Structure 1
Amino acid sequence: MTIRNLPDELHERLRAQAEANKRSLEAEVRSILIQAVVASSDGGLGHRMRARYGDYLGDDLSVERNHTASQEGVFTGSSPRRK
C-alpha cells in the first residue's frame, strides 16, 4: 500500500508518535488503522462493555440526577493559595 500526498506535518507527527511508541513508522500506521477499523466495526468501548456486562447491568439506562450542591475541594500543601 502506498499513500500519496500525505501532508508533511502529518508525516512528521506520525514519525514522532512511532518513535514515542518504539515502533517503525509502518508499524505505527498499521496499529492506527487496526484500531480505527476495529472501533468502527464493533461499536467501540461502550458496545463491548454492554456485550460483556449487559447481564449484570440490565437494560435500564435511566439515571436520576443528584441535585445536591457539591462541596468545595480542599487542597492541602505548603504553598500559599494564590488569588
Structure 2
Amino acid sequence: MANNMETVTNPMLTEEIQKAVVEARSTCQEKGDGSSECAVAWDIVEELQAEKSHQKQAAQRKNSLEVYCENHPEAIECLVYDV
C-alpha cells in the first residue's frame, strides 16, 4: 500500500526530499553540525517531508457525499446500480 500512496503524492517531491537530504548531509559535514547552515538545510528537509505528508492526507480525505453515504448506505443518493 505504501507504493500506492507514493504514486498519489508528487513523485518530484520525493526526489526533491532525497536531494535535500544529500545536500543537508554535505552542508553539515562542511560547515559543522552546530552551524546555522546545517540547521537551515535540515529545516528544508523537514518542510519538504511535511508537504509530502500533507499531500498524502489530502488524498485520503473524503468529500461530504462519501461521508454521508458511509453513514447512510441505504440513501437514494448512495445507491450504485450495475448496468
* Common fold: TM-score over 0.5: no
Normalization by structure 2: what TM-score? 0.28
Which protein has the bigger helix share?
2
Question: Which has the larger Rg?
Answer: 1
Normalization by structure 1: what TM-score? 0.28
